[in-house]
Copies of this chain bind each other. A is one copy, B any other.
Amino acid sequence: MVFFAVIGHQAKNDGTFSLNDLPSSGGRMDLLCRCVQASLFLSHGIREDASCLLILAGGPGAVKTVRFEGANVRSLSPDERSSASFIKKALEIPAGSLFRDVTPGVSVRKAGLETLLGEHRFGVLDEHGTDIRNVQVDELPEGFLLSDHQNFTPDEELLIKDLPRYSLGPQVVHADHAIVLLYNEIDRRRSGWN
């Protein structure tokens, strides 16, 4: 399994955002939707070993995490609106502390970064980190933690201060682009490409 977790600092978590205005009403939900697309989609298929976890921290109320699992998801299309409609559904049902299925492959719980960090071994993207191309395949973490258009907060930085840090190149790119670059690196290692 490969886990991609993305913190949406302003991402609304009550399902009231408009599908016609994801950036503003959803708190940059468009970016999170593209992260789902980058995590799960190949040209003609779904990555069955991918799990994309969206940490929606923009309120109202407690943080929620919506999880998309490539192995089980059905009827998801690569456009932003499709992912957004699944997220909306997930946010409209009562959430508890454990993941609850909304539709096959999509689930939701009331928990955020700290819980997630206790469950998987994450690496963090950082422009000053180790170049990902110089990391051996068996040294790669189980998952990667990314931030939306905002930096990690001081509280988040404290939680992730001991995690390994990786860079992807000389330019700082959008979170969904970072996922594309990371998966390419993983694909290459798995298949014996350089």
Interface size on A, residues (CB 8 A): 42
Q: Are B149's CB and A170's CB within 8 A?
A: no
Q: Is A81 an interface residue (CB 8 A)?
A: yes
Q: Is A168 an interface residue (CB 8 A)?
A: yes
Cβ-defined partner of A20 (8 Å) among B23, B81, B170, B183:
B81
Q: Tell me the A140-194 residues at the B interface (CB within 8 Å).
A: 149, 168-174, 177, 180-181, 183-184, 187-188, 190-191, 193-194
CA A43 to CA B170, docked complex, whole Å: 12
Going nearest first, the 3 A-B pairs with the smallest beta carbon separation are A30-B79, A170-B191, A43-B172
User: In the complex, given contacts A171-B183, A180-B181, what are 14 additional A-B residue pairs having Cβ atoms less than 8 angstroms apart?
Assistant: A20-B81, A30-B79, A34-B34, A34-B78, A37-B174, A42-B171, A42-B174, A78-B174, A79-B80, A80-B81, A169-B184, A169-B193, A170-B187, A171-B184
